Structure 1
């Protein structure tokens, strides 16, 4: 039980770390030039703001699903007699708004990150065991009613959304390094504050075990990037 509790807590720690990194990124942009946040990258296509909005959307959907699970579990426990077959909450990452203020305005992005931090604090490690369903659009030609619905848990979806954000952070770092409109020192300042920004935990662990491989860190960031951010 102690090991399971620690694993659940680790998921929450990982999501908090992603939100902290996003807040740091926004702070650095605010200090340098807020307009650069919305400038499209010539290489990756999307702007930093679009990548922030997209990855934050996934975290928001997963967190909102977790809170619905929490509320549903409380309702079941309070019912008389207790309900045995409640409908499981569902998360859907593909039904989301695009071109929102979060991708256009640093202040809106800051507020979204702060709100998500507050929502995350409402969850306990025990809530991460709650079951939910996740719907995915795996083929563009299929109607929404035919999208697969997969059984999952709060922990799994929060972990997925955090892992998904790391890849977008890697792309953001690539934008900072390759977009000639962005000052060279911006990426360095971000990494000084958040050395693991855009790096998978498995890579950090490998580099800790193999100090001589540290030179590959930049290449690892580059190869784990994803294009777009829509």
Structure 2
């Protein structure tokens, strides 16, 4: 998958978070919405805000890694470590909806800047190709390799996989592309939990207040669309 597609996937789940914030604000007003945002679900044991904070922690670590190192000439020559469990719990964006929105928009902006940079680079490559038509295929292959190279940048994904402090972190070989995919996938699953909290457990919003695909895995969306299409054909 192209790096731009991975970046857009992360932007897509951030937009779902912003949709929920908007829905809560429209129903309760800014002050009450922030209170509801921080209300702990008695079954799950966490609030919408805590799910938002936790999931964006992971995404922000990957995105910041890319943003901070894009101008670093040594970046491509070393394996970067991403420590997912070294993060701040109980921060302001768990209970303050404005702070959460600001953080979401900040990460979304970095993702959009990444897309702009890639598209700008692609446009420059197209100009080079047009100016040297004899090497068109070669230039296109180099562009594809560069794009794939961004995905294949090796990293170490570091997690705690045991409740025993003596175990410490496990370092798993990965790539930037894989971690971008993980960040989006991880967020979707937390949004699924958020949807249950907001529409069923705490009953903050009716189900139709959120986008139809809110918190749903892309594979499920594709499957349901395919099944619906087959049913439509069978009923004709």
TM-score normalized by the length of structure 1: 0.76
Any gaps of 5 or more consecutive residues in structure 2?
119-146, 232-236
Taking only aligned residues, the RMSD between alpha carbons, in angstroms, comes to 2.3
Any gaps of 5 or more consecutive residues in structure 1?
78-84, 215-230
| 1:39-79: CA deviation from partner (whole Å, max 9, x where unpaired) | 1112212111111111111111111122244233xx139xx
Q: Is the 8 Å Cα contact of residues 128 and 153 (structure 1) preserved in structure 2?
A: yes
Q: Secondary structure at the match of 2:77?
A: coil
Q: Is the 8 Å Cα contact of residues 69 and 132 (structure 1) preserved in structure 2?
A: no
Alignment of 1:211-226 (within 5 A): 211=228
Match of residue 43 from structure 2: 43
Match of residue 16 from structure 1: 11
Match of 2:173 among 135, 151, 156: 151
Match of residue 111 from structure 2: 120
Match of 2:208 among 177, 188, 194: 188
Cα deviation for residue 213 of structure 1 reads 9.7
Q: Is the 8 Å Cα contact of residues 136 and 148 (structure 1) preserved in structure 2?
A: yes
Cα deviation for residue 212 of structure 1 reads 8.0
| 1:186-207: CA deviation from partner (whole Å, max 9, x where unpaired) | x3211xxx22111000000100
| 1:75-112: CA deviation from partner (whole Å, max 9, x where unpaired) | 139xxxxxxx8332211111111111111111001100
Match of residue 159 from structure 2: 136
CA distance in 2, matches of 1:32, 1:58: 29
CA distance in 2, matches of 1:91, 1:68: 13
Larger Rg over CA atoms: 2
1:164 aligns with 2:186: yes
In proportion to residue count, which structure has more helix?
A: 2
Q: Secondary structure at the match of 1:97?
A: coil
Q: Secondary structure at the match of 1:67?
A: helix
TM-score normalized by the length of structure 2: 0.74
